[in-house]
Amino acid sequence: MRILFLITAFVFVSTCVPVFAAEETFIVETTVADADTTPPTAPSNLTATPISTSRIDLAWDASADDVSIAGYRVFRDAVAIATTTATSYADTGLTASTTYSYYLDAFDPTGNTSSSSVAVATTTRAETVTNTGGGGGGGNVFYLDSLEIVPNEYGVRIQYVTRSSLRGVVRWGQSAAYELGASSEETFSRTHETVLTGLLPGTRYLFSLEGVTPSGGGQVIIESSFTTNTLDDTTPPTNPRAFSGTASGTDVVLSWLNPNDSDFASVRIIRSDRFYPLDTADGWLVYEGSGTSFHDVDVLAGGTQYYAIFAYDIHGNISSGAVTAVSPEGAPSVSETPPDEEGAPYSVGPLEFSFADLIFSQDGERRFVSDDNTLVVDGGKPVTVQLPYNLAPEALKAAVFQARMQNEDGDDTLFLLRADEDKEFYTATIGPFTEAGITSAFVVMYDFLNSQVGYVRGLIDSRFVTSDGETGEVAVDAPWFTTIPIVLRLSIFVCIVVMLVIVTYSRRKASVVQM
């Protein structure tokens, strides 16, 4: 993928200055070197190796730069923790049996910063307790020589060695009552291992080790605790929405709404003058942080600018991206939006799929498109959109999903559909629609000439569902009677039927009397 970098050279020449010395005139010219605006390449091949219960060693391949590399910033769980000039770093003071995520970026002497490396995660070693237990002398049969606790997401392996041959009993629970169970060995031995399963991820448990001698004597050897590992989070965050840019002279004012994900960390905005940036390395990094607006200075002199915003969570996962384009004032705006007037076609171009072939889901539950190309969603929840990879054109460069909300905010955001590693789907997750209404939705396809291949169109009917399952708000332009709760509608219907029966019966009875 080609990325165009613009480098502007500034040359300053001093005025001629006469110097009176020996009746000669000297001319002094000063030249300032070209400004360095090229960022380094991203660090690669980052590895994280657990060394102990409190230390993880990081190593990576050096970045490249047209001038030189000044150093690297190291991030743990999306927080900068160190700056180094080496290609390795030892992170210490950590907690045993805890998973940490790392990534880093490089910077040069002029402050240009690279894109971040691929994030990696690893877990510190589990604690090993030695010479622990009842008694301290060599004659105590309940003496514990060693203990190792190795938790995973749903269980734990407890290995220990006793001074004498014992039958071990392990009790565990979430309280000192050890209410969840007990596991007793059938044979006597000095080496012991108990594996517990069916536990909850990221949960603290208490346990006790008891020893029973061949003669029947017993004693608690140790009481301690462990915490199961948290589940690895590989789910990308929800995309920012309402991402838009406005021209102000040669500047661009960007604004957006951050996702409401509980693990949201920051956003990163990339700019290109060629096409929408397709990932975080496809252009210039212009903003990184957790704000909701940014003023990009003096950029429209070069023509239309394309922006993409990506959300990061604390685990290093990245959203598929939302995009926008801004043209100079007075210039024709970039109009990549398909027509939305009544009667417009639902599919244009040589595409082998329809709006109904898209896979929509909320909270892991699939939402299906009706025969009239309308999808009903819960407006209070994020929506995941997937296009099967095998349905996309072979020459596809980018797929953009556009949800156009007809509300006061004018929320009209374009979201990149990103291909997964297994090339099964192009996927994007968009935030809640926040208002009930009819949303025009498109999937627009682009080839490698940045031209539209075609698009499919449909409607999204955003509704809000209350805790009892009733629709709290209904779509705009829905029939008036849909505003009445379904239970009340059924009651009214039954009443009308009963009244009709009574009226009919009364009329027939009156006719019989007259006869």
Average pLDDT on 144-154 reads: 88
Q: What are phi and psi of 478, to 5 degrees?
A: -75, 155
Q: What is the pLDDT of residue 384?
A: 93
- How many whole angstroms separate alpha carbon 477 and alpha carbon 155? 53
Cβ atoms of 237 and 259 closer than 8 Å:
yes
Rounded CA-CA distance 211/169 in Å is 6
Q: Rounded mean pLDDT of 206-230?
A: 87
Name which of 290, 336, 328, 327 is nearest 309 in CA terms: 290
Rounded Cα distance between 80 and 288, Å, is 13
What's the CA gap between 131 and 145, in Å, rounded? 5
Report the candidate in 238, 353, 287, 281 with the shortest Cα–Cα distance to residue 114. Answer: 281
Mean pLDDT of 127-138: 42
pLDDT at site 24: 44
Going by their DSSP bridges, the two strands 412-419 and 322-326 should be labelled as antiparallel
Across the chain, what does the average pLDDT equal? 79
Decide if 107 contacts 40 (C-beta within 8 A): yes
- Show the tokens assigned to 425: 């789907």
Q: How confident is the model at residue 515 (pLDDT cuts 50, 70, 90)?
A: low
Composition of the chain by helix, strand, coil, percent to 5 = 10, 45, 45
Tokens (6 digits) for 489: 């509608």
More confident position, 66 or 491: 66
Structure tokens at 449: 């000439």
Residue 13: per-residue pLDDT: 34
How confident is the model over 292-326, as pLDDT tens digits? 999 999 999 888 999 999 999 988 899 999 999 99
Of 21-25, 266-270, 369-373, 394-398, the least confident: 21-25
The alpha carbon of residue 328 and the mean position of all alpha carbons in its chain are separated, in whole angstroms, by: 32
Task: Give the residue-averaged pLDDT of 45-68.
Answer: 88
| Distinct helix (H) and strand (E) counts, the chain | 1, 32
Its pTM surpasses 0.85: no
What is the per-residue pLDDT for 483? 45
Predicted pLDDT at 22: 41
Please give the Cα distance from 42 to 504 (Å, whole number). 83
Q: Tell me: the pLDDT tens digits for 323-342?
A: 999 998 866 666 555 555 55
Cα 72 from chain centroid (whole Å): 24
Q: What is the mean pLDDT of residues 411-418?
A: 80
Q: Are 196 and 155 in contact (CB under 8 A)?
A: yes
The mean pLDDT value for 248-252 works out to 92
What was the pLDDT predicted at 489?
A: 63
CA atoms within 13 A on the CB side of 143: 11
435 half-sphere exposure, CB direction, 13 A CA radius: 13
Residue 497 backbone dihedrals phi, psi, to 5 degrees:
-60, -45
Q: One-letter amino acid identity for 65?
A: D
Cα dihedral 393, 394, 395, 401, rounded to 10, equals 40
The pLDDT, as a whole number, for residue 480 is 44
Cβ–Cβ under 8 Å, residues 309 and 296: no
Give 58-123 as a DSSP string. Answer: EEEEPP--SS---EEEEEETTEEEEEESSSEEEE-S--TT-EEEEEEEEE-TT--BPPPPPPEEEE
Q: What are phi and psi of 189, to 5 degrees?
A: -165, 165
Whether 188 shows a pLDDT value over 70: the answer reads: yes
Assign 152 to helix, strand or coil: coil
Cα dihedral 197, 203, 206, 212 in deg (nearest 10): 10
Provide the pLDDT for residue 431.
Answer: 83
CA angle, corner 204, sides to 167 and 175, nearest 5? 70
Residues 258-285, mean pLDDT to the nearest whole number? 91
Question: How far apart are the C-alpha atoms of 460 and 240, rounded to whole Å?
Answer: 19
- Segment 485-514 mean pLDDT: 71
6-15 tens-digit pLDDT: 323 333 333 3
Higher pLDDT, 504 or 361: 361
The string of pLDDT tens digits covering residues 97-113 is 678 889 999 999 888 99
Residue 72 has pLDDT above 60, yes or no: yes
Considering just the CA atoms, what is the radius of gyration of the chain in Å?
A: 33
Structure tokens that stand for 502 in this block: 């009574």
Beta-strand relationship, 374-378 and 412-419: unpaired
- In which element (H, E) is residue 213 found? none
Confidence at residue 315, expressed as pLDDT on a 0 to 100 scale: 82
CB-based contact 336:325 (threshold 8 Å): yes
Backbone angles phi, psi at 434, to 5 degrees: 70, -20
Instruction: Check residues 159 and 477 and name the one with the higher pLDDT.
Output: 159
What are 211's two structure tokens?
């020893």
Average pLDDT over residues 46-61: 87
